[in-house]
Amino acid sequence: EVYRRAQYTGSAAQLDQLPADTGIEVAFAGRSNAGKSSAINTITQINGLARISKTPGRTQMINFFTLDETRALVDLPGYGFAKVPEKMKLQWQATLGKYLESRQSLKGLVLMMDCRHPMKEFDLQILLWAKAAALPLHILLTKSDKLSRGAGNGVLQKVRQQLQRTDIPATVQLFSSLNKSGRDQAISQLDEWFNL
Ligand code: GDP
């Protein structure tokens, strides 16, 4: 499995610091605390891999983890932190929007949302940017271990309906880093985007 070979190769604070726009990238986005770092660690089975990205309030970075010469996972800065100054928030939103719109090597976006708090305001914004850029989308409803099976399926259905209503073409699944459920399904999606 190529994901286990993920290696941190650098960070960009601005778009002009990104590595060459070649190969295939899949990016991970989500509100702070949605479980993005844990999901990246679960997918790669490397503990602590995504920790680099975690310092709220400071300059946020786009972090790159290469899998091989042509494939990389991209950890986008978490959003939704109340304490971040408004000006910085807007700056980052603009950077994120531009990255999603213009990055040629970006072949898919995984959006993580806590299954107990799905579809918050900026989540929808990201989904709409991705749609506008015709960027394939996959949603992980994280921390599914916090809900009963029935409640989890209820959320799944509700989010699917909401996506349909807003005409956003995304696939959705439940995911838990705690008990690793949903990992296989997530990997299948990544494999497809990475041509594996
Ligand atoms: P990030 O800010 O999106 O990178 O979120 P983290 O991965 O750091 O997770 C935020 C918090 O949620 C931490 O306290 C994690 O231990 C917890 N967490 C993450 N994933 C899960 C999960 O699958 N189940 C449960 N119960 N807690 C989780």
pLDDT tens digits, one per residue of 45-78: 998 888 755 655 455 789 999 999 999 999 998 8
> What's the CA-to-centroid distance between 44 and ligand 1, angstroms?
15
Which domains can be identified in the chain, with CATH numbers? 2-193 (3.40.50.300)
> What's the CA-to-centroid distance between 56 and ligand 1, angstroms?
15
Q: Is the CB of 11 under 6 A from ligand 1?
A: no
pLDDT tens digits, one per residue of 125-171: 999 999 999 999 999 999 999 999 999 999 999 999 999 999 999 99
Which amino acid, one-letter code, is at 185? Q
**What is the rounded CA–CA span in Å between residue 164 and residue 92?**
28
> What's the CA-to-centroid distance between 14 and ligand 1, angstroms?
26
**What is the rounded CA–CA span in Å between residue 56 and residue 83?**
8
Please check the confidence at residue 184 and state whether its pLDDT lies above 70.
Answer: yes
Q: Is the CB of 78 under 6 A from ligand 1?
A: yes
Other Cβ atoms closer than 10 A to 87: 8
pLDDT at 50: 81
Q: Is the CB of 41 under 6 A from ligand 1?
A: no
> What's the CA-to-centroid distance between 84 and ligand 1, angstroms?
20
Sign of CA dihedral 5, 10, 80, 172: negative
Q: Provide ipTM, 2 decimals.
A: 0.99
Q: Which atom of ligand 1 is nearest to the CA of 175?
A: 23
